[in-house]
Structure formats: structure tokens, C-alpha cells
Chains A and B, each alone.
Chain A
Amino acid sequence: MESIVIALFVCLVLALISKYLSVPAIPFYILAGVLLGKTGLGLVASDEISTFFSEMGLIFLLFFMGLGLKPERIVSNQKAVMITGLIDLNVNMIIGFTAAYMLGFTFVESLIVASAFYISSTAMALTSLIENRKLMLKEADTIIWLMVFEDLILIIILALVSTGGQNLIVFAVKILAILGVLYALAHYGKEFLVSILDRDDELPIIFTFAAVLTTASVSILLEVPETMMVIALGVAFATTDADAFEQHARPFKDVFIVVFFVFFGATVDFSGGADWMMMAIICGLAIVSKLISGILTGIFIHGSAMSGLEIWVNTIARGEFSIALAVLYGTPLVGTTIAVLVIVTSIIGSFAAKYSKGLRRGLVSMGRRTGPPRRVHHAGR
């Protein structure tokens, strides 16, 4: 119990600092975990309560993600979303996997590292677009839809990794059946759900909490990973009143996710002798590979490599989903690597996003100075 109190208190202070500096809080939470946990002061160690809180954090994070995935939205502007998504997926997965495998991770470990390497932080990307007032840039739409695409890929990754030896087809049928049942419940029970959500007493919040928890518990019965179940619940509930559910689930998510981040940080163990060289390579590549995918996207979608730079700076940060993968399927070494990856990329990403205007301007003026002079003549006409 003391662990959680200490952790929450430290995070409160860190959250204040990060808001004051307007940088994302996630790397701070993980760092706090590292400093307070095994590797550091040893003040925070996971116990039953913190484990439960962390699980809740993950479950609510995924439920929230499900709420945001309105299937009918994805159908519009399909082509651009597909191109962007596939470039991002292929470039980063291939670079991530090759690097991890060559650095000595096993095949399965490499897959997890590559997935964590691939998936940018939706929370940090969207916050950066809003905070840095970039919503009107044409690249902003591309980035927002890219995040949705990545979420979908994450679901597929979760499904593939968590089959755990079950027959893939049986597993897929199970998931689809559950999604069908939840959809039917949301569809036929819509009036009832809305009538509960519309109340202004404590009922909506109790209902939301209970629904998410029940779904997670039922998953054990059905031998389906709870992660898939809560995402499915989110997707189904989004067809009723997604905003209301978001509003009622947010307090749980916000508190539990902090515990999740801190205790993830606390389990990180450098005592076995961290391979700093290996981690530096992974982090460096993580930044470079998003630059490559960003520039390719910029050229293919917006016809400009400069646009690619803007996409790059906002997608450098890896975050909540990378950590989720580490917690769910990572070995200790994978967990440590992903922790470092998230801390480094999120800090560098947040600064790059903040100063991207200067970066772009600098590159443009540099290009003018070194570039062939004929361009200037054309511009003059």
C-alpha cells in the first residue's frame, strides 16, 4: 500500500512539472518508477494492490482506444489512410525487427520489440498537435488517421500474439462472436444504455466501471485475452454514446494508467548489466526509421519531403502502447529495452515537435543557400 501512495505522490509532483514545462508526462512516470523501484531506491515494489491497479490501467487504456475506433469513420478517406498506414507499418516493422534480431533477441522477442518500435504514442502525438497548434496543417489529418491505423494494427498484433497456441481460426471465430454479441447488446440495449448514461447521479460511472470489469473477468471464462475483450467492448459501446463513456471512464483511466507506468518503470532492472550500446542503437534507429517512413509518406501523400518532416516530429514518441506490449508479452530484457526506447523517443519527440517550425525554416533556408540558383529565378517570375 505504501508503494502506491509514494508512487502517486511522486507522480503528482512530476505531472505538475511536466505540465509547467509542457512536455509529456509519460517518460517522467516511467523514470520515477525506475528511480523508486528495483534499480533505484527500492522504495516502490509491486504488491497485490499495485498489480491490480496496473491491470486496471491497461484495461481502461484499451477500452478507451476501442471507444475511439468508430468503424464507420475508417471507411472514409480510405486510400490515403491505407497508403500512410502501410508505409509506416512496413518501414518501421522491418527496421525494428531486423535491428532487434541482429542485436541478439530471439525471434519472438524481436517481434515484440519491433511492434513496440513501430507503434507511436497516440496520446503524445495528438497532444503535441493540439499543444503546438498544428491542427490546421494538412499533415495533421494524416497523423491523426495514421494513429487510428496503428491502433488497428495493434489489435491484430495483440490477437496474433495472444492466441497462445490456440487454433487461429477458432480464436478468430471466438473474437468475432464476442464482438457480435457485444454489438448486438449495444444495438438492442441502446435505449437502456443511453438512459443510464444520461443520469446525473453516480450510476453512469458505476455502470461504466462494472461493464469494463465484468467484460475483463468474463474473458477468462471464454479463454480469450482480456485485452481483446475490453477493446471489443469499447468498439461496441462507441456505437451508443462514445463521448459519455469516455467521460465516465476517464477518471479511472487517468489514475490507473499512472500506476501502470510507474510500476512498469519499477520492474525495470539494470542490475544484470544493461547493454547500453544495444539500447542506443535501438533508440537511434527508432528515430531514424520514423524519419524514413515520415518522409516517404510526405512525398506520397503531400508531394513534399518537408511534410514528411512534420509527420516525423509528431510520431517519434513511442508510449503507452509500446509499454502495454512490453508488460503483456515482454521478457525482462525486452521490458528494459522498451522502457529506454519510450523514455528517449518521447523526450526527443516532444522537443522536435515543439521546434519543428524552426527546423523546417532552417532546412528551407539551407536548401536555398546550397541549392541550384535557377530555382530562385523561377520563383521570381
Chain B
Amino acid sequence: MSDMALRSLNLPGVGTKYEFETDKGDTVAIFFTKTGRIQMYTLQKDCKTPSAAEMTPVEARRLGNILTGAIIEADQESVEIAFSALADLRITIHTYFIPDSIAGKTIEELQIRAKTGATVIAVCRQEKNIINPPPSFVFETGDAALVIGESDQIKRFEREIMVA
């Protein structure tokens, strides 16, 4: 009988181990080591030597996003979240670096909401985050804008605003 449950185990001096066996008999083990790095081992059924990958916490989180299905596009700057309870509402969040062409313009001038339907929910400027920028907000070159919307709206944003 295979034990389907996820086992977690504290290993003195090493860290925490999570292990589970899949339906088909493969084993996956994750170790959060005290070095701060995360090691993932996979062992195919009837195979003796596992293969391993070592990740930084950031890389591990990225892998986690992929496995939970949050990232649909391979592009790491975009995350799509599906809310299955809300009639499969799929929301995309995308980061864009502001090009020279729209620097100096405000959100209002660019008519982002009217033209695309997408919303700029945050801007990162020189390590500082501006959450919910007002319509009078003036973009500068090098700003990173976080845009939220349905994937069509995001595509329109890319076409109408970024390229224009």
C-alpha cells in the first residue's frame, strides 16, 4: 500500500523534509535545508537513484506557481489567476517597464481605462512602490507598472499604450 499522504519530517541539523508518493508510485521529496536553499528530489518507480535540483527560495516559489497552475504563459512577468468559483474568471497581472514614448504622460492622458479596460494598480519607481496611482500620476522612464485585467484587456494595453 502506498502512503498517499504528504509526510513532513524534521531532520536535525538539516532542515525539513516533505515527501509524498504519487498514484503511479513515483516519489517526490522536498527539503528545506538550513542553508536556505531548497532541494527537490524525484525518484521514478523501480528506479534506484533519484535526480535532484537545488533552488533558491525565489526559484522554488516560481516552480510552485507553475505547479499550482497560476502561471499560464511562460513569460515570468505575467501571472494569470483563475477563480473557478466565479464562472472561471481569469485575471492576468502583468508587469511592464515604461518606455520613453509614454514617459511624462499621466494615466488620465493615456486613457488607459477607456482604451483598454485594464487598470494600473501599482508602479515601482526606484525601489519604491506606489500603490493605486491616481489618474494624475505621471509616468517616468524606468518605472515598472503592474497592470491588471482580463487577458484581452492586457493584450489591448500592450498594443494601444505600450507601442503607441
Contacts and interface: CB of A to CB of B under 8 A. Distances in A.
Which DSSP category, helix, strand, loop or mixed, fits chain B's interface? strand
Most B CB contacts (10 A, CB to CB) among A68, A69, A133 go to A133
B66 interface: no
A129 B12 CA distance: 13
Contacts of A122: 13
Interface in B54-99: 54
Interface string B12-45: 1110010000000001010101110101010100
A73 interface: yes
Size class of the B contact interface (CB-based, 8 Å):
20 to 34
Given A136-B50, A141-B11, A130 B43 contact: no
B10 interface: yes
Contact of B12 (A68, A130, A135, A357): A68
B52 A133 contact: yes
A135 B10 contact: no
Interface string A131-150: 00101110001001101100
A135 B13 contact: no
A70 interface: yes
Nearest to B11: A144
Interface residues of A, number: 19
Contacts, number: 49
Nearest to B17: A135
Top 4 A-B pairs ranked by shortest CB distance? Answer: A136-B41, A133-B52, A136-B50, A136-B29
Interface of A: 68-70, 73, 122, 126, 129-130, 133, 135-137, 141, 144-145, 147-148, 246, 357
21 contacts: A68-B12, A69-B12, A73-B10, A73-B12, A126-B14, A130-B31, A133-B39, A135-B11, A135-B29, A135-B33, A135-B39, A135-B52, A136-B27, A136-B43, A136-B50, A137-B50, A141-B11, A144-B11, A144-B13, A147-B12, A147-B13
Given A126-B13, A133-B54, 8 more contacts: A126-B14, A133-B52, A135-B14, A135-B29, A135-B39, A136-B50, A144-B12, A357-B49
